[in-house]
C-alpha cells in the first residue's frame, strides 16, 4: 500500500459540431481540436488519422495534452481520438458539481455520439475508471483496453483512509469543506506541486506546466480537480463510485478482451502487489514494465508507451 498516495489519487457522427480549435504545443506536436455538442455543452477532442479507433482518456488534473507525444505513434495507422473531460482542457465549463456521475454522463454521451465500433481504449487515472465503466456497459463498442496508473483490483476501491498512510491527512483535508477549496482551488497544489514534481526526478518544464495550467485560469475553473479528489471511493463512500469500482474490478478480471498494462516502479496507483494480482487473475493480459517513475509516466516514457502500444495494436488487430 506504500505506493498509493492520495494525489492520484475521472446518435450520429453527422451530428458533430466541428468548430476547430488550433492548439500548438511548444516544441512538440501540433494538433487541431474539434468540438462536439454534448448535453448542452461542448467537449473538445483531438481526432487524428484513419482506421480502427483508439481512444485516449486522461484523468486528474490533466487533459488530452497528456497524450501529445504518444498519439503520433498511433495516428499513422489508426484513428486516434483524445477528448478533454468536461470542465477540463478545452472542453466546456458548465455549472456542474463535477461528480463522477457528471463526468461519466458527458464522456459516455460523447463516445456514444461517435458511434465507435471495436474501439481500443487507452486510459489513465480517472480516465481508467470511466473507460472500464464504458467498456463494461458497451461491450459491442470496445474491443480492447490498455491502461496505466489505473483504478485496479485488489486495492481499489480503497478500504479505509488509514491504509493511505502518509497520504491520509491530505485526503482528509481535501474532503473537508473550506480546506480542500483552499488547497486545490486557491493554491493550485495539484498542478503547481503534484504534477510538477511527481513525473520524474527533474520537474516538468515551465512550458509544459503553463500548458496544463492554461485551462484553469481562475479558482472556480479548478472545481473539477477538487471534486475528482472527493470522488475517490474510501470506506464505501461515495457509495455510487464504490459500487461502480467493484463492478469494474469484476469486469477487468473476467472479461476476455485483450488488455495491456504499462507500469513504472514504484508508481502511485499500481504497485507490485497489484501487478502480481493481475498477472495471476486477469484474462488475456500483456504486462509491460517501463522503468522507474511515478504517476504521470506519459511525461517520462512517451516513446516506450507509443512503440509498445503500436506493437500491441498490430498483434491484436
Q: Which positions are catalytic? A: 125, 149, 295
Q: Extract the C-alpha cell encoding 254.
A: 473476467
Cα dihedral 162, 98, 294, 255 in deg (nearest 10): 90
Strand spans (E) along 104-164: 119-124, 142-148
Q: Which of 123, 106, 11, 108 is nearest to 56 (CA)?
A: 123
| H or E segment and range at residue 208 | helix 206-213
How many residues in total does the chain contain?
A: 317
Helix axes 126-137, 239-254, angle to 10 degrees: 70
Question: Which residues, in sequence order, are CB contacts of 111 under 8 Å at separation 6+?
Answer: 55, 119, 134, 138, 141
Q: Would you say the C-alpha torsion 194, 199, 200, 204 has a positive or negative sign?
A: negative
Q: Return the C-alpha cell found at 311.
A: 506493437
Amino acid at each position: 500500500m506504500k505506493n498509493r498516495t492520495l494525489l492520484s489519487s475521472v446518435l450520429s457522427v453527422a451530428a458533430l459540431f466541428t468548430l476547430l480549435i488550433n492548439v500548438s504545443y511548444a516544441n512538440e506536436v501540433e494538433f487541431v481540436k474539434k468540438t462536439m455538442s454534448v448535453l448542452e455543452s461542448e467537449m473538445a477532442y483531438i481526432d487524428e488519422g484513419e482506421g480502427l479507433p483508439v481512444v485516449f482518456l486522461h484523468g486528474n488534473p490533466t487533459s488530452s495534452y497528456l497524450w501529445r507525444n504518444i498519439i503520433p505513434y498511433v495516428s499513422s495507422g489508426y484513428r486516434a481520438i483524445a477528448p478533454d473531460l468536461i470542465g477540463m482542457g478545452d472542453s466546456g465549463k458548465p455549472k456542474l458539481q463535477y461528480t463522477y456521475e457528471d463526468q461519466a454522463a458527458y464522456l459516455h454521451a460523447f463516445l456514444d455520439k461517435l458511434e465507435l465500433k471495436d474501439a481500443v481504449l487507452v486510459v489513465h487515472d480517472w480516465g481508467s475508471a470511466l473507460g472500464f465503466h464504458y467498456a463494461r456497459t458497451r461491450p459491442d463498442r470496445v474491443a480492447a483496453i490498455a491502461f496505466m496508473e489505473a483504478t485496479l483490483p485488489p486495492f481499489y476501491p480503497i478500504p479505509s483512509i488509514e491504509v493511505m498512510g502518509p497520504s491520509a491527512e491530505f485526503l482528509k483535508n481535501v474532503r473537508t469543506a473550506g480546506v480542500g477549496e483552499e488547497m486545490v482551488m486557491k493554491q493550485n497544489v495539484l498542478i503547481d506541486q503534484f504534477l510538477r514534481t511527481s513525473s520524474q526526478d527533474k520537474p516538468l518544464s515551465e512550458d509544459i506546466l503553463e500548458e496544463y495550467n492554461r485551462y484553469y485560469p481562475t479558482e472556480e475553473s479548478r472545481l473539477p480537480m477538487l471534486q475528482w479528489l472527493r470522488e475517490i471511493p474510501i470506506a464505501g463512500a461515495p457509495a455510487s463510485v464504490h459500487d461502480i469500482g467493484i463492478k469494474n474490478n469484476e469486469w477487468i478480471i473476467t472479461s476476455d478482451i485483450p488488455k495491456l498494462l504499462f507500469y513504472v516502479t514504484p508508481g502511485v496507483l499500481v504497485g507490485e502487489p497489484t501487478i502480481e494480482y493481475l498477472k495471476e487473475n486477469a484474462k488475456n493480459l500483456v504486462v509491460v514494465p517501463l522503468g522507474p517513475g511515478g504517476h504521470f509516466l506519459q511525461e517520462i516514457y512517451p516513446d516506450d508507451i507509443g512503440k509498445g502500444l503500436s506493437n500491441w495494436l498490430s498483434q491484436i488487430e
